[in-house]
Amino acid sequence: MARPDEVRPKRRKSVAVAGKPNIVFILMDNLGYGELGCYGGGILRGAPTPRIDALASEGTRLLNFNVEAQCTPSRSAIMTGRYSIRSGTHSVPMGGGLDGLTQWEVTIAKTLSGAGYATAHFGKWHLGSEDGRLPIDQGFDEWYGIPRTTDEAFWPSEPAAKAAGVSYMHVMEGRKGGKSRKGPVYDLKQRTLIDTELAFQQQLAASPAYAALPRGAIHADLFRDNVMFDTTESGDQLTGLFDFYFAGVDTYLFDIAVCLNDWCIDLESGRLEEGRAAALVAAYAAERALSGSERRLLPAVMRGAALRFWLSRLWDLHLPRDARLLTAHDPTHFERVLRERVATPWHPAATDPDFETA
């Protein structure tokens, strides 16, 4: 991925190049030439690809790519424009040891960087897993992803791998001029949850019921630490709220879900305190009656709210922003909250018989 203007602070400033486009290159593993409709597959292969076919009809369709049918050599050829055997990347490396592109190779990232682009790599690399052969050593300004294959996500859950003392792969990130650092172990536990929850939320977002949800200006992250109280003789009084950094326009139900996932849970376990949750929803409904779609979709949107803050906290932990007042929070907190929302979906009707669900 490359762009001729850099928007994030404290990163390499690229030269603004008039008339030069942003470049986004997406490589999909294990996708055969004949799988796509624009190459004779699509519906004939049992899976129509209309959007990719539309892109092909509007642009340039390439017809010849000579490379070994493996992850590492195909990536190497695309990065360098050369036969992979000339770069030491003729096959997927097995058995440990040094691997990856030779350090003198000129990659497309190096070329674009020299032309004034800011460059970044996100996702699977598989062109070298040691310092000196990672993306920031091959022309990219920054990267976030995994150094080898996604297959290694299975290893932490395999008894044989544990018994053999196999070292597990970590999610990594780095910026040019520094060393890449390891994040969490890349395992099925997190990968499966993220994949399945994203699929669930995409299906929800495409539903007519979700489209019917009322929308407007929302706070979007009204947590306990965003609110100020003053102690008076008559008790604690709300005196103000702050931090509208994430405020925007979205469903009102998302705002409710964010509050429920923070104000009405046990902070250690993420478990919902149902009595408090029912009181919050009932008090809200007394000011603005909830629609039928809102009542039905509340459990699903609570899952979406938990997923949103789990992912954003992962981002802030591994790709911190230049913000002196921003403190990265523990992303595992909202991972626990999400797992609780999935395992024990909650609706006010479960504890408040007077709250209608129809």
Q: How confident is the model at residue 259 (pLDDT cuts 50, 70, 90)?
A: very high
Parallel, antiparallel, or unpaired: how do β-strands 118-124 and 227-232 relate? Answer: unpaired
Where residue 352 falls among pLDDT bands split at 50, 70, 90?
Answer: low
Is 8 in the same domain as 142? yes
Average pLDDT over residues 163-180: 90
CA distances from 178 to 1, 11, 14, 220 (A): 20, 12, 18, 35
Write the CB contacts of 323 (distance below 8 Å, at least 6 apart in sequence): none
Q: Which helix (H) or strand (E) holds 17?
A: none
Q: What is the value of pTM for the model shown?
A: 0.64
What is the number of domains present in the chain?
2
Per-residue pLDDT tens digits for 289-319: 999 889 999 999 999 999 999 998 888 877 7
Q: How far is CA 283 from the centre of its chain?
A: 34
- The reply to whether 53 falls in a domain is no
Nearest-angstrom CA–CA distance, 341 and 303: 6
Could you give the percent of the chain with pLDDT greater than 70? 89
**What is Dmax (Cα atoms) for the chain?**
79
In b/e form, how buried is each residue of 49-81, taking b as 16+ CB within 10 angstroms? beebbeebeeeeeeeeeeebebbbbbbbbebbe
Q: Which residue has the tokens 């008790």?
A: 235
What range defines the domain where residue 247 resides? Answer: 194-350
Q: Do residues 24 and 161 share a domain? A: yes
Mean pLDDT throughout 336-358? 77
Q: Select the more confidently predicted residue: 69 or 283.
A: 283
Q: Do 15 and 84 belong together in one domain?
A: yes
Last residue of a domain, which of 186, 218, 253?
A: 186
Q: Are residues 289 and 332 in the same domain?
A: yes
